[in-house]
Amino acid sequence: MQAAACCYYCAPKSIMNEMKRIITFAVLLAWLAGFMTPASLKFVVVSDTNPEFLNQKDFSHFEKAIEQINALKPDLVINLGDLIYGYGLRSTRPQWERYLEVVKRVEAPYYQIPGNHDVFNNRARQVYLEFFQKTYLSFDLGNCHFVLLDNLEDGVWGKIGPEQLAWLEEDLRQPRWEQAFVFIHVPVWDMKARNVRPEWREFWFEKIHPLLLAARVRAVFAGHSHRFGPTRIYDGLIYYIAGGGSPRLHKEYVRAGGSNFFLLVEVTENGFKVNVVTESRIISEQEADILKDVFAPHFYQPGEPGNRK
């Protein structure tokens, strides 16, 4: 009697899923080998990895991304906020405890800033500080400087208060690095980012943006809007929107063919390169910027009256 042949399609669902996961990782790593340039440092940017309301402890989207991230072996990982669901709950502690269980699986050094879901009122901010002690920070790695800002102070979207501004001015005063990167939650330059008052958009471009230009900052990364891009350039400084970790992505982004993603940034002596990593492939930032025509008019333009709409 001839033995029955075992095939992928006959395997139990759990085995099929595991095979699919292994195949996906193999494809990504093979793609990566030919896609990446020699880098002195590489880091991941991920954002909006929080669960939905009805499944507040279900971080499965983030857990899948963590597997991919670990396979790529970055030097560090930065999460741009909206780490838990948060909103409307008397206590967020159980969600933070679950979140901490999940991020323990990240093998690289892991940094984060809060999003509006994390510090949605004064009590939520107090709990966040009890867990993590600070909402903004900076550090050096190699020849690069990393600045993580909290632009949700006092529950106001886009706000960076006087104390944080003074800290930032001192932090950037004497650049000792070759390149620097800045990370925030709310993209104040994106006019589609609702609930950002015009004064805080103006504040960024009058107070913060000039500091960054003088301090060799090459890029600013934000989350909040559940999509990639559109990417904007102000005075040579590149501004990215990278809110790709959410189980609920922007409908226009999905309609255009977008899916969950995170960024893998390669830093070289001559600059940096942004790769957009989806579940099944790695693409360039140019290919990923699928909403650049749709949202073309909806960005902050310094000095223009339309900014106050």
Can you give the pLDDT at residue 259? 94
Residue 159 lies in a domain: yes
Q: Where are the beta strands (DSSP E) in 99-209?
A: 110-112, 137-141, 144-148, 179-184
Q: At 276, which helix (H) or strand (E)?
A: strand 271-277
Can you give the pLDDT at residue 32? 54
Task: Name the residue range of residue 49's domain.
Answer: 37-308
Can you give the pLDDT at residue 5? 39
In this predicted model, what pLDDT tens digit does every residue of 224-235 receive, in sequence order?
A: 999 999 999 999
Residue 20 lies in a domain: no
Does the pTM exceed 0.75? Answer: yes
Please compute Rg for the chain using Cα positions: 20
CATH number of the domain enclosing 71: 3.60.21.10
Nearest alpha carbon to residue 150 among 208, 73, 197: 208
Instruction: Look at the block and give the residue holding tokens 């999460």.
Output: 79
Residues 200/157, Cβ–Cβ less than 8 Å: yes
Q: How far apart are CA 213 and CA 24, in angstroms?
A: 40
Residue 10 lies in a domain: no
Query: Two tokens at 48?
Result: 């909006």
Rounded-to-5 percentages of helix, strand, coil across the chain? 35, 20, 45
Count: domains in the chain: 1
In the predicted model, residues of the chain with pLDDT beneath 70 are: 1-37, 306, 308-309
Query: Two tokens at 284?
Result: 């360039």
Can you give the pLDDT at residue 170? 98
Residue 29 lies in a domain: no
Can you give the pLDDT at residue 260? 95
Nearest alpha carbon to residue 39 among 138, 239, 179: 179
Residue 54 lies in a domain: yes
In this predicted model, what pLDDT tens digit does every residue of 237-258 receive, in sequence order?
A: 999 999 999 888 999 999 999 9
